[in-house]
Amino acid sequence: MLQGVLARLDDAGNHVPRFTAPRCLLERQAVGGCDACHATCPHGAITLGMLGDSIQIDPDLCTGCGLCVQVCPSGALEYNLEPALQSVRDQQDAASRAAPDASLTCSRSGAGGPSLPCLGRVTPALLSAAGAWGVPLTLIHGDCAACPVGAPDVPERVERVLDTAQALRAPTGKPAQVTVRPATPEDASRSLTVSRRGAFGALFRVGKQHLAQSIPESPLPFVDWSVPEDRTPQEWTWRARSLKPTPPEDAAIPWPAPLVDDTCIDCPVCTNVCPTDAITRDLQPDGGVKLLLNLSACTGCMGCLHSCPPQAIHAQTHWRPAAFGAPLLLRESDTIM
């Protein structure tokens, strides 16, 4: 067990996000593709393949800022969310704390407490989960204009992420208590506090000075595409989990996803391009077909909408809570044309 813990510590220097090719809209050959990660990266670390159907990440240029993960519409790029989630939860559970709130700081802010390489790694799921747990969370950044890790507009990007999280939390009636602000001299005294549950991990984290106040990275394993549950990115899994307290039955949950109208020609394009297999095409013994949607697995990338040959797909932005409980029937046909 000790070797496993030390191995995870050694992996903490690997800042390159995990790339899951089957989730990439370029790899899925969705119409229009996507260059969000390439356009967003402030360090030129992400390039498009020669044929425009893949991406490559240069580990020598990647700083681990996470801005590409923030903008990826399908979860093809991601970091492990659980260490940051656990850190927030540990700060909530700690018996005594030096501060009345939980905090996450950027590594160059000079503030104490748990830190990330850059607040560009903060995602809506993380903030929504903090809201579900009732944890006041302060996000502290340094001088972003001069930072070599992220980009000058990181604070503005984090505010947009917070807007998304608050929209997701609105149906629960329990908004997230999140503050985004620059570091102050007083923040240097913030300490890394943990609960008993997190004390064992902290014991090893303080073994190296440069890790003493950081959240250790545990690289995500490759996705086993044979396991349907693994096809959903952590980000959207945790967005769904964080819908607590359970919204009222008539609440409208913001979760962009496709609807199909009667102009559908029952072709398989939408299922072929779906980056998480949220849309499935169930062939029936009598020759018919059912088109089903797993709403919890849908990232709202709308690759299906842009790729649909007869333009039979339209986006619905809000759904009732019951829609998340079972696959939704988008369309049922007696025969395949």
Tens-level pLDDT at each residue, the chain (337 residues): 333 433 333 334 568 999 999 999 999 999 999 999 999 999 999 999 877 778 999 999 999 999 999 999 999 999 999 999 999 988 876 644 555 789 999 999 999 999 999 999 999 999 999 999 999 999 999 999 999 999 999 999 999 999 999 999 999 999 999 999 999 999 998 865 544 444 444 444 444 334 445 787 778 888 888 888 889 999 999 999 999 999 999 999 999 999 999 999 999 999 999 999 999 999 888 878 999 999 999 999 999 999 999 999 999 999 999 999 989 999 998 766 5
CA dist 325 and 302 (Å) reads: 21
Indicate the residue type of 165: A
pLDDT for residue 4: 40
> Apex CA 165: angle with CA 186 and CA 163, to 5°?
80
- The pLDDT value recorded for residue 241 is 96
Lookup result for tokens 């923040």: 187
Q: What is the pLDDT of residue 204?
A: 45
pTM reported for the whole predicted model = 0.88
The CA distance from 271 to 281, in Å, is 7
Tell me the three state secondary structure of residue 211: helix
pLDDT reported for residue 16: 94
Contact 307, 25 (CB under 8 A): no
Burial bucket for residue 337 (CB in 10 Å: 0-12, 13-18, 19+) = exposed
| 278-280-282 Cα angle (round to 5) | 160
Model pLDDT, residue 336 = 60
Q: Which two tokens stand for residue 207?
A: 């073994």
- DSSP-derived pairing of the beta strands 279-283 and 46-48: unpaired
Residue 17, CA atoms < 13 Å, CB-side half-sphere:
28
**Using alpha carbons only, what angle is made at residue 46 by residues 307 and 16, rounded to the nearest 5 degrees?**
110
Give the pLDDT of residue 194.
47
